[in-house]
Each structure stands twice: as structure tokens, then as C-alpha cells.
Structure 1
Amino acid sequence: MIAGRVEGLSDDGLGIVRAKKKPVFIPFTYPGDYVEVHGTKRRFGRLLARDFALLEHSPLRQRPRCLHFGKCGGCLWQGLKYGAQLELKGELFERITGINAPIKGSPKIWGFRNVSNFIVTTEGIGLKEYGNPLGVVDLKECPVFSKRTPEYLRSLTGFLRETGLSPWNLRAKSGEVHYIQVREGKFTGEVMVNLIAHVEPSREVREAFKDYFSFATSLYWSLKADERDDPRGEATLVKGKPYIREHIRDVTYLIHPNSFFQTNSYALPLLLKAVEGFTGGEKVLDLYSGVGTFGVYLAKRGFRVEGIEINPFAVEMANRNARINDVSATFKVGRAEETPIGDYDTVIVDPPRKGLKEVAELLVKSGIEKIVYVSCNPKAFKLDYERHLKKAYRIENALLIDMFPHTPHVEAVVELRRRLGF
């Protein structure tokens, strides 16, 4: 048994208690908590508590709103006061990157997520259990996603009961229905329901699907051809509109089941404003442009935007978003690492979690005056900057936006300016 006070947090937001030999990492605990650890397991080279008791509460604690807190892997920090969350996010970002940056909180910290992927299994319907890849929390609610979560889950339960379709078995890797994805347009009220299954629906199943989800603006059935545990499949429209809309300030975005869109509609205006504030000149290259989230917004503000994205479907969506907003922005299919960096005033990069890698060296050689780097992975940003970008660019400004309340994650926007004489 190990007992002690949580002294700090790991980079991924776990409480740390110093033991004699090695530190013990404890989920759902915060600085100032006093805990008693009864069992540990070794994971990724460190000791992770799997059985512990909270004996004394930190003054940073608050009562969590969700009844599933402490088991569900979605919200490690829901038991932490929101002001403390913001302060600790800033500290973790500075510890990892060396950058002291102000942070802006999310305007809403409940009901802010515009998408949730609920796994449908023999163990229940909901989200993965923290630290257990085969464990599922059978959800009754999800206050960070939507007040309507119980309605969505009841509809799915009734649909499965009537049709007899089997949920996915995580151990046997077999079953018919694997995920249900629900998206909400927070500012439009539109709802998209996308069922990810391993079978095609019969006519009777399609009709039952329409009946149980009659409230949906857009209803999709996605055929999943592999056993990978992710919410992806070949989407077919069953009923309603092919897209739902989301309004962010004066921009309308169309969203499809296969679109990536920032998950916090309420904090997204803060992120867009930060990118706009760091963007200089007139001509902008939007690398990793996705569905045009940044590019269309900037074009609406008078910038001339060209975007590059490897996913052809995302490019189609980006150009569609440019047309419906009547802006001058063009998006093309291409690999970021093969893109000629021409005569642009600013390059915006929002890379995958792994970071820029070889694209960073391309930017160093480009002669571009300014880079706006957007990232939710501070370790990847640090590697890109220290290994490549630092040679030609200095950090001019940085701002953190809390897109992910109740988690250790934060979105960073960093302005890089070319060094004189380089």
C-alpha cells in the first residue's frame, strides 16, 4: 500500500504521488488530494494506480456533474474547479514547451461538444472506461455533450431491441452494430445521426431506423468493412439532408459524417479570432486545410486564401463551404510535404497530432515571413520547433484556447516570425 499527497500532475493530467522507488500516477486526482493506493499496474514504463481511495480532498476540487465521472475515460478533470483547470493547462503547456501563454476559457463548459461517438457493445452503450480497452461505461447521460444524450441513447436501445441487430463484442471482434455518432449544430439546432455497422440494412431495418430517429435532420448508415475499433465506415444517406449546418459568427459550415470539425462550437470563435489576429499580409496558404475551417473564415475577412489538404472529400467540402459563404478561397488536393511554398505572406498549419515533421524543413527553406501554428499537441509542436523551425523563426506570440473543458488538453495558437537575416 502507498499513501501520500498528490504533489503535481503528469503531462497527460494524472496526479503524481511520490513512492520510495518510483512515482505513482493516479487518474482523477489533483494537487492537494491525499490518497491511499492499494494496487498498481505497469503501463508504458510507469506505475499506474488501479485501486485507490481518496482520503482527503484538495481545495481545488468541485463536485463533478456527471454520474459516470471516475470511470468514464472522457473527462479526467471534471472534478477540478474550472479556474484551476485553466491555470493548470497553462502550467502544463509551459512545462512542455517553455512558452508562457495566456489562456482563454470556453464560453460554455457544459453541453459544448458538437459530436460524440458512442460505442455499441455487449457490455453497454457509451464511452470507453479509463485505462481498460475492453471496458465500456454504459452511459445514462453525458453533460459535456448534450442534454439530449438520454434521448439519443433511448432511441438506439429501442431500435436495437426491435430489429434484433447485435451489438459489437469487443473480445470476439464480432457483431453487427459498432458505433453511433451524433453531431449537433449548436447554433442551428440541426442533428446528424450516423450508425456505423458491419451489415447493410434491410428494408425493414431502414424503416425502423427512420422511425426511431425521426428527429434527425440528417440520418446516415455507414458500412464498416474492418474490425478496427473506430467510428469509420462508408456513409450512405438514409433520410434527410446530406449535411447539417453550423453557424460560427458570420460563417456557415456544412458538416458531413466524414468531416473533421472542431468539437467545441462555443470556443471555436475564440480560436478563429486568435488565428486571424496572428495572420499578416493579404495572401494566405492554409496547409492541412481540412474542410476550410480557418481558410473560409479568413477569406470572409478579406484575405486571399489557398488551401492544401490530402483528403479529396475534405477538399470538396472546403470548396463547397467557400461557395456558400461567397468568399475568395480555393482548396486543392495535395500532400503538405510536396507543396511548393510560393509567394505567401502567412502560412497557417494545423497538422495531425504527430506534427509537421518534414514539412517544417520545407517551411524553413521557403522564405515565408510568418507561420501561424495551431496545435492540440504541445509535445509535437516543441519537436517541430526545436528540431526545425527554430533555425529560421522566433516565437512572437502565443495564445491558448480551452476547446476541451474537463480534460488536460488545450489548443495552442503560436505566431512565428522569420528571424532577421535568415
Structure 2
Amino acid sequence: MLRGRIEEFSDDGLGVLVVGGKRIHVPFAYPGDVIMVRDMKKRFGRLIARDFKLFDASPIRTTPKCQHFGKCGACLWQGLEYGEGLKFKAELFERITGISAPIKGSPRIWGFRNVSNFIVTTEGIGLKEYGSPSKVVNLSECPLFSRRTPEYLRALKDFLSETGLRPWNLKGKAGDVHYLQIREGKFTGEVMVNLIAHTKPPEEVVEALRDYFSFADSLYWSVKRDERDDPRGNPEFIGGNPFLSERIGDVTYLIHPYSFFQTNSYALPILLKAVENFTNGEKVLDLYSGVGTFGVYLAKRGFNVEGIEINPFAVEMANKNAELNGVRARFHVGRAEEIRIGDYDTVIVDPPRKGLKEAGELLVKSGVERLLYVSCNPRAFKLDYENHLRKAYRVEEAVLVDMFPHTPHVEAVIKLVR
């Protein structure tokens, strides 16, 4: 057993204990905590504490709201004062990227998530334990997602009980139902339910799903053809409205089960405003455009927008969103790595967590004067900048928006100019 004081956070938000010549990363521990590590493991070249005892709590600690805190992997920082967490997020971002940027907090820090993927297993129904791919926290609540979480989980359990459908066995790779995805329109009150299963349902099972989830405004059944542990499948519309609608300021968005949409509806207006403030000129290219979150918003403000997105469902939604909001924006299916970047005043990129990679070189070779890089992964930005973007661009300004309260993650909008 090793005892000492947590002095700092690692880049990924774990408390760091240095004692006995060892550097131990401790989840759910914060600078100022005095702890004793009782068990640890080696993972990816570093020591991770699996169990620790708190002897003296840091003054920046607070009482967590969720009874599952400390096991569930969804929120490492729920035991940390929110304002302190904001400061640490800005510090970690600067440590990783070298960029000092102001941070804007989320207007709501509870019930802010508009989507949650509950894994349905023989071990329980809920979310994964921190650091464990095969252990599940059997949830009874989730204050980050919704006050209605108990209602959603109860409906699922009753549905499984009546139909006899089997939860997924993580170790045996067998079963029927693997995930329950719930989306909420925080400003519209709408609910979308998407059951992700390994079998196509007979009509009596579909009827049971409609009965138990009668509160859903939109209902889908997705058939999963592989054994990968992710909430993906081929969606089949079951009932209600085919799309969920969400209202962000003066823009209405339609959302499909498998189209990306920012997870915090309450902080999204702050993010959109930051992008607007950094956008210059008339012609805007929205790469990785999703359902048109940035593109439609900017078009509403008079910009001429074109978007590129690899997901055809998302492109369909983006064009519907442009039409619904009466704006001049066009979205096309395409790979960011393969398109020819034409004459644009500003290009916005919101890449997946792996970053731009090859698309970065296309931007360097383009004539675009202004590039806005939106990302929740500062390491990916750093690699993209050092490997590609710095050949043609310099960082002029940045702003951070806390889209993910109670976690170490933060969304950045970085303005680069040629």
C-alpha cells in the first residue's frame, strides 16, 4: 500500500500520486486529496489505481449527486467543485496544446446530456465501469442525462421480461438486446427511443415495444449484425415521428438515430456563437458537417454555406434542416480526405476524435485564409497542427466551451489564419 497526496492531474484527468519512486494514476481523486492506494494495475505503460482509501479530502472536493459515482465511467470529476473543474480544463488544454484560452461554463450542469447509450447485459443495464470493458454498473439513475432515466430503464426491463428477449452476454458474445439509446430534445420535450438488438423482431415484439415505450415521440429498432461492443445497427423506423427535433435558439434541428449532434443542448448556443464570432467572409465550407449544426446556424445569419459529411443519414438531415429553417445551405455526401477545397473564405472542421489526418494536408494546399478547428480532443488537434496545419496556418485565437460537465473533456474552437 502506498500513501500520499495527489499533486496534479494527468492529461486525461486522473489524479497523480508520486510516492516510493512510482507515479500512480488515480481515477476519482483530485489535487489535495491524501489517499492510500490499496490495489493497482499496469495499463498502457502506466500504473492505474484500482482501489484507494481517502484519508483527507481536498478542499476542492464536493458531494457527488449520483449514487453510482466512483464506479461508473461516465463522470470522473463529479466529486470536484464545478468552478475548479473549469480551471483545470483550461490548464490541461494549455498543457497539451500550448494555447491559453478562456473557458465558458455550461448553463446547466445536471440533466444536460441529450443522448445516452445504455448497455443491456447479463451483468446489468447501464454504463460501463471505469477502466473495465466487461463490467457494467447496473444504473438506477443518471443525473447527467435525465431525471427520467429510471422511467426509461423500467420500461426496458418490463419489455424484456414480457418478451423473453435476452440481454447481451459480454463474455459469451451472445444474446438479443445489446443497447438502448435514448435521445431527448431538451428544448422541445421530444424523446427518441432506439433499441439495438441482434435479431429482427416479429410483429408481436414490435407491438410490445410500442406499448412499453408509448411515451416515445420517435421509435426505432436497429439490427446489429456484428459482435462489436458499440451502439450501432441498421435502423428500422417503428413508429411516431421519423426524426427527433431540437430547438437551439432560432434554429430547429431534425436528428436521426445515427447522426452526430452535440450532446449538450444547453451549452450548444455558446459554442455556436463562438464559431460565428470567428467566421469571416461570405462563403463557408462546413467539413464533417453532421446534421448541419454549424452550417445551418451560420446560414441563418447570412453566410453562404456548403457542407461535406460521410454519413448519408446526416446529410439527409442537414438538407432537411436547411429547408426547414429556410436558409441557403447545401450539404453533400463525401470524404473530407478526398474532396477538392475550392474558393471559401472560412472552413470549419469538426473532425472525429482521431482528428483530420490526411485532410489536414488538403487544407494546407488550399487557398483558404481562415480555418476554424472545433474539437473535444486536444491531442488530435496538436498532432494535426504539428504534422500538417502549421505549414500554412498560425493559431490566432481560441475559446473553450464546457460541453461535458463533471468530466475532464472540453470543446475547443480554435481560429487559425494563413
Under TM normalisation by the shorter chain, which class is it?
A: over 0.9
Matched residues in 1 for 2:326 and 2:76: separation? 41
What is the aligned partner in structure 1 of residue 44 from structure 2? 44
Kindly provide the CA deviation profile for residues 136-189 of structure 1, in whole angstroms up to 9, marking residues without a partner as x: 000000000000000000111111111111100101010001000000000000
1:26 maps to a residue whose letter is V
Counterpart secondary structure, 2:94: helix
What is the number of equivalent residue pairs in this alignment? Answer: 418
Deviation at 1:312, TM superposition (A): 1.9
Structure 2, unpaired ranges of 5+: none
Matched residues in 1 for 2:155 and 2:362: separation? 50
What is the aligned partner in structure 2 of residue 69 from structure 1? 69
What is the aligned partner in structure 1 of residue 268 from structure 2? 268
Residue 382 of structure 2 corresponds to residue 382 of structure 1: yes
1:271-420 aligned within 5 A: 271-418=271-418
What is the aligned partner in structure 1 of residue 140 from structure 2? 140
Counterpart secondary structure, 1:133: coil
1:325 maps to a residue whose letter is N
Kindly provide the CA deviation profile for residues 50-76 of structure 1, in whole angstroms up to 9, marking residues without a partner as x: 121011100010000000000000000
Counterpart secondary structure, 1:126: strand
What is the aligned partner in structure 1 of residue 59 from structure 2? 59
Residue 105 of structure 2 corresponds to residue 105 of structure 1: yes
What is the aligned partner in structure 2 of residue 221 from structure 1? 221
What is the aligned partner in structure 2 of residue 187 from structure 1? 187
1:353 maps to a residue whose letter is R
Counterpart secondary structure, 2:417: strand
Matched residues in 2 for 1:236 and 1:263: separation? 23
Deviation at 1:317, TM superposition (A): 1.3
Deviation at 1:21, TM superposition (A): 2.9
Matched residues in 1 for 2:301 and 2:114: separation? 25
What is the aligned partner in structure 1 of residue 119 from structure 2? 119
Kindly provide the CA deviation profile for residues 17-36 of structure 1, in whole angstroms up to 9, marking residues without a partner as x: 00223300000000000000
Matched residues in 2 for 1:51 and 1:373: separation? 38
Residue 238 of structure 2 corresponds to residue 238 of structure 1: yes
Structure 1, unpaired ranges of 5+: none
1:195 maps to a residue whose letter is L
Kindly provide the CA deviation profile for residues 116-142 of structure 1, in whole angstroms up to 9, marking residues without a partner as x: 000001111000011111100000000
Is contact 2:256-2:313 (8 Å) kept? no
What is the aligned partner in structure 1 of residue 96 from structure 2? 96
Matched residues in 1 for 2:380 and 2:198: separation? 35
Matched residues in 2 for 1:230 and 1:338: separation? 27
1:126 maps to a residue whose letter is G
1:123-202 aligned within 5 A: 123-202=123-202
Counterpart secondary structure, 2:337: helix
Residue 201 of structure 2 corresponds to residue 207 of structure 1: no
What is the aligned partner in structure 2 of residue 27 from structure 1? 27
Matched residues in 2 for 1:305 and 1:101: separation? 27
Matched residues in 2 for 1:34 and 1:365: separation? 52
Counterpart secondary structure, 1:61: coil
Q: Which moved more, 1:189-198 or 1:331-340?
A: 331-340
1:246 maps to a residue whose letter is E
Matched residues in 2 for 1:177 and 1:54: separation? 38
Matched residues in 2 for 1:292 and 1:203: separation? 35
Counterpart secondary structure, 1:239: strand
Counterpart secondary structure, 1:353: coil
Counterpart secondary structure, 2:211: helix
Kindly provide the CA deviation profile for residues 347-367 of structure 1, in whole angstroms up to 9, marking residues without a partner as x: 001111111112112111212
Report the TM-score when normalising by structure 1: 0.98
Counterpart secondary structure, 1:36: strand
Structure 1 moving runs of 4+ over 3 Å: none
Counterpart secondary structure, 1:337: coil
Matched residues in 2 for 1:238 and 1:284: separation? 37
Matched residues in 1 for 2:332 and 2:162: separation? 45
Is contact 2:256-2:314 (8 Å) kept? no
Matched residues in 1 for 2:288 and 2:413: separation? 15
RMSD between aligned alpha carbons? 0.8
Matched residues in 2 for 1:25 and 1:291: separation? 38
Matched residues in 2 for 1:74 and 1:167: separation? 21
Matched residues in 1 for 2:344 and 2:404: separation? 32
Deviation at 1:400, TM superposition (A): 0.1
Q: Which moved more, 1:21-30 or 1:63-72?
A: 21-30
Counterpart secondary structure, 1:395: strand
Matched residues in 1 for 2:57 and 2:358: separation? 46
Report the TM-score when normalising by structure 2: 0.99
Kindly provide the CA deviation profile for residues 79-135 of structure 1, in whole angstroms up to 9, marking residues without a partner as x: 000000100000000000001100000000000000000000111100001111110
Counterpart secondary structure, 1:134: coil
Counterpart secondary structure, 1:125: strand
1:139 maps to a residue whose letter is L
Is contact 2:259-2:311 (8 Å) kept? no
Matched residues in 2 for 1:206 and 1:107: separation? 39
Counterpart secondary structure, 2:135: strand
